[in-house]
Each structure stands twice: as C-alpha cells, then as structure tokens.
Amino acid sequence: MQHHQTVKAFFYGSFVRKDVQARGGLRLSSFEIARLGGFDIHISPHAALSRSDQHCVYGILVDISHRQLETMYTAPDVGVFLPEAVLVETRDGKFVPSLCYIPPSRENKPADRDYLDKLVAAGREYGFPDWYLTKLNAMP
C-alpha cells in the first residue's frame, strides 16, 4: 500500500477537536460535517457509541491514511477503539462509507465536564445542530 493512499473516517469525539488533531500530527486540508444514523453517543467519561435505531451522532468525515489512524488511536490515554465500517450522511445528503472507531465497551461514569465542554465548543464551531449540542451539554 502506498503511503499517500487515504480512507474515509468519521470522527465524533476528541478527534473533532483541532488541538487534539494537531497533537496527533493531523493537519486536515478538508473535511465534511456528517451524521451517523443508527448510533447514540455517550460521554462516560469520554465519547463512546452504542447502536440505536432512534438516534444519530454528528461528527466530521475526513480523508486520512491508515498510518495516521494508527498513530492517533495508539496514542497514550486514547484507550481501545475498534474500526467499524459505517455509512455516514453528509450535509448535502450523500451517503459515504467510512471507518468509525468505537470502543468495545464503555465505562459507566459521569461525563468529564472539561472534555464535554471542549467537545460542545468544537461542535458549535463546525455548526452541528443546536439540538445535538443541547443533548451533549445535558449529559450527566
């Protein structure tokens, strides 16, 4: 595989933040706002997803190399995330297959408020829907 080849990945937690992207050496030249249907987000104490036919999750769709994904997801304190193939919908209604990294289990802890505040701020900057930001803010 050539090093410049990229895949689509959907980020919904820490990696939507530009400061975290920079720490991982990621410089996004382009991205799209997207939503992932069939999943719900939990902040316990950090972002995790679970399957749900009643919810959706907002995030960003990026072009990224496998090497860069490996660097980001093996960084200290990231925890265990496993890649899953998902279909996300972009703002213009296109469905795009992408990788989404999901923890195999989630902790049952209250939300890390500092983490959550930074996630909501990033979502506001991207223009995620108000209802979604309100939902994040209300997490215990």
Q: How many structural domains does the chain have?
A: 1
Rounded Cα distance, 115 and 120, in Å: 9
Q: Is 134 inside any structural domain?
A: no
pLDDT at 1 over 50: no
Q: Which domain holds residue 69?
A: 7-125
Q: Is 42 inside any structural domain?
A: yes
Name the residue with higher pLDDT: 29 or 21: 21
Strand partners, 33: 60
The pLDDT of residue 53 is 97
The pLDDT of residue 3 is 55
